[in-house]
Amino acid sequence: MSAEFKDYYQILGVARDATGTDIKKAFRKLARVHHPDVASDKKAAEEKFKEINEANEVLSDPEKRKKYDELGSDWQNGGSRRRPQHQGAAHHDTGSSPDAEFNFGGTGFSDFFEQYFSGASRYGFPEGAAAGRAGGARRGNDVEGDILVTLEEIMEGAVRPISLQMTNTRTGKVETHSFQVRIPAGVQDGKRIRVPRQGEPGAGDAPAGDLYLRVRH
């Protein structure tokens, strides 16, 4: 069963040919009005904020927007070119704990978003989860932690430098990993940000696991 189509352009109040700047301005304007931290009716504001955050998540990303625009044309023509429906990624063996699975459940995104933009690979696995299955190679474990963000970062988005100390399972030595994390504008409390290949190193020639940073306001 197909999920209900979401008109992200209508949600943000922008034209289909809107520029990236137009989309950013529209999102910021709506976010300031409907953010649960500033609205009087917090429950209604939370639902509206989820909706505009989802629209911004797609339209502010060139690849997602292109896919959405193609999907929109198909939808208006009766959906003749049906797209594959990705299955949920939970319970696939990635060498990580169940809590570290790549799963958008609970983030507030609609079924439509999860069906077409959830980030699952072609076969429904989290990206890179199937790597290193052959021979003695094994993908590294995923790692999860918290990241505190400010209201300004929520409203504007930000790039945050991060340094983590992690034990290398191959050598047993503690290593410092330094990298930058993009905090998307409108990110919700509890949502996880995936940082590819910054988890534990893999065995053999398999890739490292991913790092998941849970957003805390």
CA–CA separation, 75 and 81 (whole Å): 9
27-67: per-residue pLDDT in tens?
Answer: 888 888 887 777 778 788 888 888 898 898 889 888 889 98
119-150: per-residue pLDDT in tens?
Answer: 433 223 334 444 344 456 778 788 877 788 88
CA–CA separation, 201 and 174 (whole Å): 12
Check residue 45 and give its pLDDT. Answer: 80
pLDDT > 90? residue 15 = yes
pLDDT > 50? residue 94 = no
Over the range 61-75, which residues count as b (16 or more CB within 10 Å of their CB) and which as e? eeebbeebeebbeee
Check residue 169 and give its pLDDT. Answer: 61
In the chain, where the domains are located: 1-82
Query: What dotted CATH number matches 1-82?
Result: 1.10.287.110
Mean pLDDT of 142-168: 82
